[in-house]
Amino acid sequence: GAVVSQHPSWVICKSGTSVKIECRSLDFQATTMFWYRQFPKQSLMLMATSNEGSKATYEQGVEKDKFLINHASLTLSTLTVTSAHPEDSSFYICSARALAGVQYEQYFGPGTRLTVT
């Protein structure tokens, strides 16, 4: 149980284009989903927190107009990187917290590697 999927697993795009990454909780409903970014050999850095049906809360330093988050249902959240630049190249990982169950246990997707050329 507690499986989170992400799509695509990797993507290469040209500078200036937009990329959408999907995150789905497959066997549970997620009250809250989180988006992290991880640079090589570094830890995970929280970008934003989203609750179903409401606006995402962004961490300091994360541009909300650049990283658009939509949490349309209890099983789906999307992250759109708009006008991507090479410095946006990173490993993006989503996480979901179950609607029921133990508080603070988060389950992570397999990640999406974004390369902007």
CB nearer to other proteins: give 81 or 93: 93
Complex with other proteins: residue 51 or 80, whichever CB lies closer: 51
| Shortest Å, Cβ 39 to other proteins | 12
Minimum distance of other proteins from residue 11's CB (angstroms): 14
What string of DSSP letters covers the chain? ---EEEE-SEEEE-TT--EEEEEEESSS-EEEEEEEEE-TTS--EEEEEEETTS--EEPTT--TTTEEEEEEETTEEEEEE-S--GGG-EEEEEEEEESSSSTT-EEE---EEEEE-
Instruction: Compute the least distance from the CB of residue 23 to other proteins, in Å.
Output: 10
Residue whose C-alpha is closest to residue 22's, from 9, 41, 38, 40: 9
**Of 46 and 68, which CB lies nearer to other proteins in the complex structure?**
46
CB closer to other proteins, 15 vs 42: 42
Q: What six digits make up the tokens of 99?
A: 């609607």
In the complex, minimum distance from the CB of residue 55 to other proteins, in angstroms, rounded to a whole number: 15
Question: Which chain residues interact with other proteins by CB under 8 A?
Answer: 2, 4, 6, 32, 34, 43-46, 49, 91, 93, 95, 102-111, 113
